[in-house]
């Protein structure tokens, strides 16, 4: 069974391939960013503790074909897990020319078996760098000594497992609303800090946000100083820390 991988965009670069499943529905430990786009209508529903809307859920709201592709992957993954063929199918679905794979532009590790499958894939493909942002910290901690060197994980703050990040001194990423809020953390604009180094970092708030929300107002303030979206062009913006 073939799974759908996408080639990187202007932000990520064409050498990065990505894999996604539906936002929110596959994110058991999301909290501050929990949002879901209805599978049929695309209508967004935010979670009870949502502070900023998941950018990938907004993609699913806006683009029906994106939503359809991610749900197809999700259904296939769950069936392949049941059949015991997921690792083989992922390996066979990754494009031959891929050198870097982002696991989940949308979605997260929804159970331990699924997390373990990606660990096995990375181990079988040492020539490829795999990286992911995740709030499923407990699955990572359960395999802390088994993560291969070519699998780069980034603990995403703002979830239900945040306490484990400090407890196990994990590399983390924080979404911030301004340059000043980042403090001493480097700000990543094109994902390179996610897979090229081992220090915690920050991401500027991005994506389509609820009108007049704190997150939406922060994006407007960033635009006024020339920062638009989550783009490598923002590297030109000086950051004083």
What are 159-212's pLDDT values in tens digits? 999 999 999 999 999 887 666 776 668 888 889 999 999 999 998 865 555 555
CB 41 within 8 A of CB 51: no
Nearest to 206 by CA among 222, 226, 225, 186: 222
Q: In the structure encoding, which two tokens stand for residue 227, read together?
A: 């920062």
Please name the residue that has the structure tokens 């990606």: 118
Q: Is 8 left (phi over 0), alpha (psi -120 to 50) or beta?
A: beta
Predicted pLDDT of residue 189: 80
pTM of the model: 0.85
Predicted pLDDT of residue 97: 92
pLDDT at 239 over 60: no
Predicted pLDDT of residue 210: 55
| pLDDT band, residue 13 (cuts 50/70/90) | low
pLDDT tens column, 213-238 = 655 555 565 565 556 655 444 443 43
231 contact partners, CB below 8 Å, separation of at least 6: 10, 11, 189, 190
């Amino acid at each position: 069974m073939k799974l759908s991988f996408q080639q990187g965009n202007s932000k990520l670069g064409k050498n990065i391939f990505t894999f996604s499943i539906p936002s929110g529905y596959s994110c058991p430990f999301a909290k501050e960013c929990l949002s879901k786009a209805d599978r049929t209508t695309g209508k967004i529903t935010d979670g009870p503790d949502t502070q900023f809307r998941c950018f990938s859920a907004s993609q699913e709201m806006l683009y029906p074909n994106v939503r359809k592709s991610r749900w197809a992957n999700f259904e296939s993954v769950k069936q392949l897990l049941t059949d015991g063929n997921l690792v083989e199918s992922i390996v066979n679905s990754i494009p031959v020319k891929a050198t870097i794979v982002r696991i989940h532009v949308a979605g997260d590790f929804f159970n331990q078996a699924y997390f373990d499958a990606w660990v096995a894939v990375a181990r079988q493909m040492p020539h490829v760098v795999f990286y992911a942002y995740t709030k499923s910290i407990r699955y990572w901690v359960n395999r802390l000594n088994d993560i291969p060197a070519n699998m780069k994980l980034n603990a995403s703050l703002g979830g239900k497992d945040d306490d484990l990040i400090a407890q196990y001194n994990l590399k983390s990423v924080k979404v911030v609303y301004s340059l000043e809020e980042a403090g001493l953390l480097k700000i990543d604009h094109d994902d390179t800090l996610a897979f090229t180094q081992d220090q915690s970092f920050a991401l500027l708030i991005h994506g389509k946000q609820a009108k007049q929300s704190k997150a939406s107002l922060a994006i407007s303030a960033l635009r006024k100083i020339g920062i638009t979206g989550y783009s490598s062009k923002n590297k030109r913006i000086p950051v004083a820390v």
